[in-house]
Amino acid sequence: MSIKILTLNTAMMIEVPPFKVEPGKLKRAEKLSKALLKEKYDIIFLQEVFQEAARDIIFSNLKNVFPYVIRKGGKDFMSEDSGLAIASKLPFLKKHYREFTDYVGTDSFARKGCLFAAIDLKAAGYPGVQLYTFNTHLQADKDNDDIRRKQLREIREMMINIHNKIPASLGNSNVSSIFLGDLNIEGDTNSKKKVFSEYYKLIELMNYPRDLYTGTKPQGAGYTWDGLNNSFIPKDDKDQQRLDFIFALDKVPVLSSDWKSQILRKVSCISCKPKIFLDSKSINLSDHYGIEAELKF
């Protein structure tokens, strides 16, 4: 048996300066949530679900199909929450949120971090198996590689701590792990093979996880930010980039090459590809395309 998952940056921003007011945001939230339901996902990982009224609409529409939800990571305190959320048909066994210690620019309005959830795969046909998920949204802007690197190190530390607490009764052979979200790091595509140093530093830092999109060798470039074709993106932005990812962790990250890494249950990827959500008039429902994957364990 397999499960179908999605990661998507929803662009449901708060409406305070310097962010632009979007008059049709609540209607867009309605359309997006209904579009999500049509795809028969088992787990949906969201980023930038900041605006409370939009979040209410999305989860109100999803609740009958997705009984298990984490509406946000982090608490509001003089700024927004993380904008991270998860909706699942499969039950959560535990959850944890870690806020980043550093962010700059407009990211300072949000309490960005990493949202962890352990999900029970029994109902998906894998009794005794758990899926550890790490949903994140890293620092924006091209010039902030150093901030993103620091955030990735904090996620790595979080992953090590969580995996070190796997109960002996469960064992690593019954735990699969994925790391996903909007990383704001440009990755290789099938049509544009270049040396993106920040991407490969990410791969090394996280102990060589499998990039599920490039691993499946699908057709198409794999762009999730597409200034040439996405109607939601301002017309003066012509960038085409792969910024959103799903990684499978075959082994736990380590702090040093001298460490022996824990081996995890392997995730098999049947398919992984960008997912475009449009309304009835073929208008894009977010500035990012999602990434969907079908997984087996």
Q: Rounded to whole angstroms, how far apart are CA atoms 7 and 293? A: 9
Report if pTM > 0.85.
yes
Q: Give CA separation, 285 vs 29, 41, 109, 155, 171, in Å.
A: 8, 18, 23, 29, 41
In this prediction, residue 98 carries a pLDDT of: 96
Q: Rounded to whole angstroms, how far apart are CA atoms 269 and 93? A: 23
**Range 57-64, long-range pairs (CB < 8 A, 24+ positions):** 57/26, 57/29, 57/30, 57/33, 58/10, 58/12, 58/29, 58/32, 58/33, 59/85, 59/87, 60/33, 61/30, 61/33, 61/34, 61/37, 62/33, 62/36, 62/37, 62/87
Quick one: which of 237, 101, 246 has its CA closest to 182? Answer: 246
Q: Give CA separation, 43 vs 95, 112, 133, in Å.
A: 15, 21, 10
Question: Tens of pLDDT along 168-207?
Answer: 999 999 999 999 999 999 997 665 556 578 999 999 999 9
In this prediction, residue 260 carries a pLDDT of: 85
* Domain 3-296 class, CATH top level: alpha beta
| Segments in the chain below pLDDT 50 | none
In this prediction, residue 226 carries a pLDDT of: 97
Report phi then psi at 11, rounded to 5. 60, 35
In this prediction, residue 221 carries a pLDDT of: 84
- 276's CB contacts (< 8 A; 6+ apart) are 284, 289, 290
In this prediction, residue 144 carries a pLDDT of: 92
Q: Judge whether 285 and 35 are in contact, CB under 8 Å.
A: yes
Q: Rounded to whole angstroms, how far apart are CA atoms 10 and 138? A: 15
